[in-house]
Amino acid sequence: MSIGGKDMSKPHLTVSAAIIFNDARDRLLITRRRSGGPHGGLWEFPGGKVEPGETPQDCLGREIREELGIDLCDIIPYMTVDHEYEPFTITLHTFSCLIAKGEPRPIACSDLKWVQVPELLSFSFPEADRAVIDQLLRDFSPGALAVPVTDILDLHTFQPRDVKPLLQDYLESCLEKGFDTVRIIHGKGTGTLKRVVRGVLSATPFVRSFHDAPEEAGGWGATVVYLEPSDS
């Protein structure tokens, strides 16, 4: 039986995978599956199967500790992919994130590498991961810095060198649209991106004040900004 293009007679797996960026947001971590079994020897975004009773995000934390010996922070949903392989179907939940604690080690994989996004095309990945790679290539293309102007700006996948001009233009656009409050999500990590953001805010005349977001809105991984027009 097929529903929505999926063969419902096949076993279905729900999987979580981490797109782990370094603190500079210019490289991400990929791991190589051990030989043998489905997709043996291929590279992938680290993660694993969601167990009964787990949420995809809970699964991610457990799998990454088991596979790489690290803890994650700034975990943000990136994209979900549905894919049909010959023996089974899969729903792949991906999350962008940073390392909170530890140094990655190949505990349950055969190798790991830090790579730039364009370099992903040089590695062999399972088919379901290719949609994620395609999206990463679009997000990190030269023209990808244009973002919709709302009262929330998520900088999670931006590199610190790109943030200053982007944030300056974004705040001006927010003011033009009539926003007087903006929440900027910069993540926790080692605080590099937060320092860049706070530097821009301190130097912007129409920023009235700013502070850490409430805990339920990101805590010190986000900044709430209050805007007011400059005197003309």
Q: What is the pLDDT of residues 163-215, one digit of tens each?
A: 888 898 899 999 988 999 999 998 876 678 888 999 999 999 999 999 999 98
Q: Is residue 18 domain-shared with residue 67, that is, in the same domain?
A: yes
Q: Is residue 118 domain-shared with residue 21, that is, in the same domain?
A: yes
The whole domain housing 51 covers: 2-139
With 60 as the cut, is the pLDDT of residue 148 above it?
yes
| Final residue in a domain of this structure, among 114, 139, 164 | 139
| Final residue in a domain of this structure, among 118, 139, 160 | 139
Beta bridge partners of 101: 71
Question: Checking DSSP bridges between strand 152-154 and strand 43-44, what pairing results, if any?
Answer: unpaired
Q: For the whole model, what pTM was predicted?
A: 0.70
Is 120 exposed, middle or buried, given 0-12, 13-18 or 19+ CB atoms closer than 10 A? buried
- For residue 3, give every residue at least 6 positions away whose Cβ sits within 8 Å of its Cβ, in sequence order, or none: none
Residue 148 tokens, joined: 């919709």
Q: Is residue 232 part of a domain?
A: no
Q: Is residue 116 domain-shared with residue 192, that is, in the same domain?
A: no
Q: Is residue 116 domain-shared with residue 160, that is, in the same domain?
A: no
Q: Is residue 145 part of a domain?
A: no
- The more confidently predicted of residues 161 and 228 is 228
Q: How far lies 37's CA from each of 34, 40, 41, 42, 106, in Å?
A: 8, 5, 9, 11, 18
